[in-house]
Amino acid sequence: MTFPNTGAETAQVRDWVVRTEALRKQFGALTAVHGLDLTIARGEVFGLLGPNGSGKTTTIRMLCGLVLPTSGTATVAGFDITHDAEKVRRRIGYMSQRYGLYDELTVQENLRFYASVYGLVGRAREERLREHVERLGLNARLTQRAGTLSGGWKQRLGLACATAHHPDLVFLDEPTAGVDPAARRTFWETIYDLAKGGTTVLVTTHYMDEAERCQRLAFLSRGHLIGVGTPAEIVQQFGATSVEDVFVMLQKRDEQSVAS
């Protein structure tokens, strides 16, 4: 399947939603992230990949304003993650693989709740949700309890809740784990619709076919940024035949490093 281009290839002339410079995080003797330099453009679908322990989670927690860096700087949606963490959190959305909806609430009630959490109330909330529900195709399910939805519809509702406040950046952490292929395909179409509307999407995934749908990828290994570019550029950089081969190679290398 070919996904539409949102224009992120012209990122050099657009504003950066994420910019990090020498970003570093140390936990005691362990350095989880080593001097990360990274830029992600508005409306870009960006994949952050790497084996377990590569530094992905720590990087995301810093970008969300949840963990302070040991050194270096980073801005998200124009706000410094160290000094303006609360402002950062109001401009981002987050969706994890763990189901975070309220089963006993309807689709509409879940949306209203999360929109309120992100600061939307009253008429502004209702107008935003009306448009959002239409875009994500949830109209016919507004009165259905979230707990009765299929896996694919739960994922779509989760994404709707994470983006109810129209964030500059949304983090999708293994968003389609346990979802069937047809639902995953629809989910990715929705991701690109959001990107076309100006929302930057940062994805972590262990599905390499999904990674190849990102416009650009960054590979982390033992806390180091070791490759960044389009999927084709990543494959070329590592002399591999596919993004999956790159991932497997890094995982084996990291496992051997720990064993030794």
Q: Which two tokens stand for residue 97?
A: 């693989």
Are 147 and 191 in the same domain?
no
- Considering only CA atoms, which of 18, 80, 63, 21 is closest in space to residue 43? 18
pLDDT tens, N- to C-terminus, the chain (260 residues)? 444 444 444 444 458 999 999 999 999 999 999 999 999 999 999 999 998 889 999 999 999 999 999 999 999 999 999 999 999 999 999 998 766 899 999 999 999 999 998 888 899 999 999 999 998 889 999 999 999 998 889 989 999 999 999 999 999 988 887 778 888 888 899 999 999 999 999 999 888 989 999 999 999 999 999 999 999 999 999 999 999 999 898 888 777 766 55
Q: Which residue has the tokens 């069937």?
A: 180
- Identify the pLDDT of residue 110: 95
Instruction: Please give the tally of structural domains in the chain.
Output: 2
Tell me 106's DSSP state.
B
Q: What pLDDT does residue 161 have?
A: 94
From CA 251, how far away is CA 41, in angstroms rounded?
28
For residues 154 and 185, state if they share a domain.
Answer: no
Query: Is 159 in the same domain as 246?
Result: no
| Integer Cα distance of 34 and 27 in angstroms | 12
Q: Are residues 39 and 83 in the same domain?
A: yes
Which of 178, 109, 185, 177 lies closest to 141 in space, CA to CA? Answer: 109
Could you tell me the residue range of the domain that residue 19 belongs to?
A: 1-91+169-260
| Residue 56 and residue 116 in one domain | no
Burial environment of residue 28 by CB neighbours within 10 A (0 to 12, 13 to 18, 19 or more): exposed
Say whether both 101 and 118 belong to one domain: yes
Question: 246 near 240, Cβ under 8 Å?
Answer: yes
Q: Do residues 195 and 125 both lie within one domain? A: no
Q: Are residues 128 and 231 in the same domain?
A: no
Tell me which of 146, 166, 186 is where a domain ends.
166
Predicted local confidence at residue 99, as pLDDT: 62
Instruction: Tell me the C-alpha distance between 229 and 55, whole Å.
Output: 18
User: What pLDDT score does 7 carry?
Assistant: 42
Burial of 242 per CB tally in 10 Å (0-12, 13-18, 19+): middle
Q: 140 and 75: one domain?
A: no
| Same domain, yes or no: 48 and 131 | no
Cβ–Cβ under 8 Å, residues 28 and 184: no
Q: Within this chain, do residues 124 and 210 fall inside the same structural domain, yes or no?
A: no
Same domain, residue pair 186 and 224: yes
